[in-house]
A and B are shown apart, each in its own frame.
Chain A
Amino acid sequence: AQKVTQAQTEISVVEKEDVTLDCVYETRDTTYYLFWYKQPPSGELVFLIRRNSFDEQNEISGRYSWNFQKSTSSFNFTITASQVVDSAVYFCALSDLTGANSKLTFGKGITLSVRP
């Protein structure tokens, strides 16, 4: 069955610190997709990144980077030099072929607080 585990529930850092948000997933499929979404205090869900299971290259976008490791079924997200505006809940999600539908299975989310 599909499952996404975000073991960290809350993280608090001081501005300019680096922070890594962990995501571990379970799936029986060899083809699957992983996502990260951000939910700021205003409540909307903002898409950050999509990665398919055949592309293990790490990705960097500005201060954000993602480390995908199939060997450990992890898709971790690092924010470098964190800023107060990064304070939000971050969700990791999985889409695979189980049930032949394209629903997203979300983790419980990690609440990140960045203090000035």
Chain B
Amino acid sequence: DSGVTQTPKHLITATGQRVTLRCSPRSGDLSVYWYQQSLDQGLQFLIQYYNGEERAKGNILERFSAQQFPDLHSELNLSSLELGDSALYFCASSVWGGIGETQYFGPGTRLLVL
């Protein structure tokens, strides 16, 4: 158990809908990362937050957004969902969010868009 929690574990929804994925980092970690794992793209970095502020952006679609709250939990919002958004979404956390820090991953949220 990494100490990172994600809810829900599974999510099934329809195209065009909006969903929110939630992540709580390990105790003491200030930085949160979101990654998407799909069959065709593999594991891809989406976005990073540090202590409530956006720090880095990767291949995140405009339909997707995220935030980190004062209690350090983070939410990833996916809207206007398409079939291709079906994937496993991971949250990871690290202490300072610095380069080379070990990122500890949560169990993931498996999203299926029908």
Which chain B residue shows the least CB distance to A53?
Answer: B100
CA distance A101 to B88 in the complex (A): 23
CA distance A91 to B100 in the complex (A): 16
Report which of A47, A52, A97, A106 forms a contact with B2, defined as CB distance below 8 A: A47
Contact (Cβ within 8 A) A44 B99? no
CB proximity of A98 to chain B, nearest CB, Å: 10
A37-B105, A101-B55 in contact; A43/B100 too (CB < 8 A)? no
Chain A residues closer than 8 Å to B97, beta-carbon distance: 102
A33-B99, A44-B105, A52-B100 in contact; A102/B110 too (CB < 8 A)? no
Q: Mark A75-96, 1 if CB is under 8 A from B, else 0.
A: 0000000000000000101011
Q: Mark B21-55, 1 if CB is under 8 A from A, else 0.
A: 00000000001010100000011110010000001
Chain A residues closer than 8 Å to B42, beta-carbon distance: 106-109
CA distance A35 to B33 in the complex (A): 16
Question: Which has the most chain B C-beta neighbours within 10 Å: A32, A95, A101?
Answer: A101
Contact (Cβ within 8 A) A44 B107? yes
Q: Mark A38-81, 1 if CB is under 8 A from B, else 0.
A: 00001111110010100000000000000000000000000000
Q: Mark B58-96, 1 if CB is under 8 A from A, else 0.
A: 100000000000000000000000000000101010100
Which chain B residue shows the least CB distance to A29?
Answer: B99
Q: List 7 A-B pairs, minimum CB-CB distance, nearest first.
A: A101-B56, A33-B100, A45-B105, A103-B45, A106-B43, A102-B99, A44-B107
Chain B residues closer than 8 Å to A101, beta-carbon distance: 48, 55-56, 99
